[in-house]
Amino acid sequence: MKNKLILGEFELFWLDGGLCQFDGGTIFGAVPKVLWEKKYPCDQENYVFLTASPILVKTPRSLVLIESGLGNKLTDKQKKIFRLREEWRVPEDLKSLGFDRQDVDYVILTHYDWDHSSGVVMQDSERLALTFPNAKHLVQKTEWEDALNPNRRSINTYWDVNIETLKQSKNLELVAGDAEIVSGVSVSLTGGHTGGHQIVIMRSGGEEALHLGDLLPLHVHFNPLWLTAYDNFPLDTIRMKERHEKIGLAANAWFTFYHDPYYAACKFDEKGNIVAGVPPQVTSQQAG
């Protein structure tokens, strides 16, 4: 397990959902390397670290998991392609907090790309099964429809192996637009990264945290024009990121990260400087 943040009556825990490496060019899109490499390290082959750290939100009445990690069913070939450096340990991390995966009440997926949804369906002995069998799984309706009918590009990221088991279960709950999931935890449709991408807003005891998902994958993407090359609707990403960053700044909110190995959450000033950060998540591999 990585970090923890207290937010009013809520406790947020970042779980080990996997660590892999991506080409820096895909993570920073049109931003020139001379600019991004000053702010985010890469190795000699231009690869950068990205975590897939689900956030467990413990509210007074519910356990809510945001994103699901990389799961335990990547093939050796996929592990090589994505340069998997640390395995998914979400069930073990839940145990270390005194919970079982059966205790999770809600799983919120910001979108259904494989790196967010692979932990939804796990290899359990000989069969594939829902990792969180008692949880409602919340996905935007448009996102689910797109996942079921992928286009030439998205077919590489919406994987059947992550879809079928959930589709056949009674655990899928489709959301259209904005909705409150439990008291203090809401989702809002943004589009941008994918057409049905949603964000999560957490409020408790006068404190606020915004999980902007892949609109803000790393702290260095705070500049609205710093996008990944994976954004399907980049102008929507820019517009929604500007909107929600402004709202978050006004509320002195934490911005939480799924992919950032260096920060679990940050507070920023108007210029995008970090004014507070939940301690870095540097792992043994990175330190070496």
- Residue 214 binds to Zn ion (criterion: CB under 5 A): yes
Q: Based on CB atoms, which residue is closest to Zn ion, 53 or 59?
A: 53
Q: Based on CB atoms, which residue is closest to Zn ion, 10 or 88?
A: 88
What is the contact mask toward Zn ion in residues 71 to 110, using x (rule: CB under 5 A)? ----------------------------------------
User: Nearest distance from residue 116's CB to Zn ion, in Å?
Assistant: 6
Pick the piece of the chain touching Zn ion (CB under 5 A) from 62-70, 129-137, 173-181, 213-221: 213-221
Pick the piece of the chain touching Zn ion (CB under 5 A) from 7-15, 102-110, 149-157, 209-217: 209-217
- Both tokens of 102, joined, read 């059966």
Q: Based on CB atoms, which residue is closest to Zn ion, 115 or 236?
A: 115
Please give the DSSP secondary-structure letter assigned to residue 238: H
Closest residue by Cα to residue 258 from 223, 221, 193, 211: 211
Closest residue by Cα to residue 51 from 141, 110, 116, 139: 116
Q: How many C-beta atoms surround the C-beta of residue 225 within 10 A? A: 13
Report the site for Zn ion in 111-130 (rule: CB under 5 A). Answer: 115
Closest residue by Cα to residue 187 from 199, 195, 173, 170: 199
Q: Based on CB atoms, which residue is closest to Zn ion, 194 or 204?
A: 194
Dihedral sign computed on CA atoms, order 209, 215, 216, 217: positive
Pick the piece of the chain touching Zn ion (CB under 5 A) from 81-89, 97-105, 128-136, 207-215: 207-215
- Residue 67 binds to Zn ion (criterion: CB under 5 A): no
Query: 251 to each of 103, 129, 133, 244, 248, how far by Cα in Å?
Result: 31, 40, 35, 11, 5
| Residues in touch with Zn ion (CB under 5 A) | 115, 214
